[in-house]
Amino acid sequence: MKSGSVIFSLCIILVMTFTGCTTTVIRPADVIVNSEDAAIAKLGDDVHSLLFLLLNKKIGILYFTTLDWQIIDVGKRLSGKLADYLTRKGGLAMVPRAELDAIMKTQAIEQTSIFDIEAIQKGGKAPTIDVVITGTVAQADGRIEIQLKVFDVATGRLMLLSGVRMPAAGEFTAQENPEIILLNRKSPEKIAAMNKTYFLLQWMKANQPLVFLLAAVNDNEMKSLRATNAVLSGKLAKRKERYQHERPDVMRKIGNLQDGLSLMDRYEPQRFREIIRWKKELLDRMR
């Protein structure tokens, strides 16, 4: 069995060599594993199967993101685990995260703009990274789906498309209870709204705390803030007033997030409690 697998891998390599290496290797995304470590092993083995094509190439792994390219904690953890796994497997020139960050800073590249690789090629200079690995994380049907892509930076060619599914856990707290399963069948857009709300609020908490608080603080809490903390209340009130006049798009987004929060309060109480905890931490920090 093992020798057959080796022969199959060699055949793939030969085919790609004689076709000018233009073939994209596709690994099934419907593979279901029972843990995060097993998911990383599956994805890492898929990348490592390109060993002969990746020899002597500098490989960088970007933080995994949501489908709308928001960087989240679970994405950072998964990309870090994949980097560790490939380093332990050996044979590949992995670019350390600190060096990758320095390269991106030097070239004025934002991670969220590299999904098409064009940003990393700009300036006409020889790329300092030869291969980029990107990943997305999404939740559907009570499972987490990770999709991974390997790009050749010089040509922009997609070398590998791989994926895996695993049970929801940790940051992904939707439970496979009858109510959630029924909601997913009848109103998948509500599940999507809850997921988008969760990831956007997580990003706002880290990058736009006042906007996060505007979305997460209800009217009663605002009244309480006005009574106990004039400085913070003033900041929020002024920011809200400015958005109402100058950025109605932001106010619409805040309204949508509040709708998503209401759904989460009913259907995903664990996630909702997590957001409430973020809110308390921010309020305590800003008081």
Q: What is the pLDDT of residues 259-286, one digit of tens each?
A: 889 888 888 787 888 888 888 888 887 7
Candidate ranges 113-117, 130-134, 169-173; pick with highest mean pLDDT:
130-134
**Among the ranges 26-30, 64-68, 221-225, which has the highest mean pLDDT value?**
64-68
Question: Which of 3.40.50.10610, 3.30.70.1520, 3.30.70.141, 3.30.930.10 would CATH assign to domain 23-167?
Answer: 3.40.50.10610
* Radius of gyration from C-alpha coordinates of the chain: 22
Summarize pLDDT for 239-257 with one digit per residue, the tens: 777 777 777 777 888 888 8
Lowest mean pLDDT among 18-27, 90-99, 149-158, 182-191: 18-27
The Cα–Cα gap between 236 and 242 comes to 10
Tens of pLDDT along 198-241?
888 888 887 778 888 888 877 667 666 665 666 666 677 777 77
For 45-58, how does the pLDDT look when each residue is reduced to its tens digit (9 = 90+)?
A: 999 999 999 999 99
Quick: pLDDT tens for 31-40: 888 888 889 9
C-alpha closest to that of 145 among 125, 167, 160, 112? 167
Q: Where are the domains of the chain?
A: 23-167, 178-286
Residue 83 predicted with pLDDT over 60: yes
Pick from 95, 81, 79, 88: nearest CA to 130? 95
Mean pLDDT in residue range 80-95: 94
Residue 170 scores a pLDDT above 60? no
Q: Is the pLDDT of residue 119 over 70?
A: no
Contacts of 54 (CB under 8 A, 6+ apart): 47, 92, 131
Residue 29 above 80 pLDDT? no
- Best-predicted range by mean pLDDT among 46-60, 61-75, 121-135? 46-60
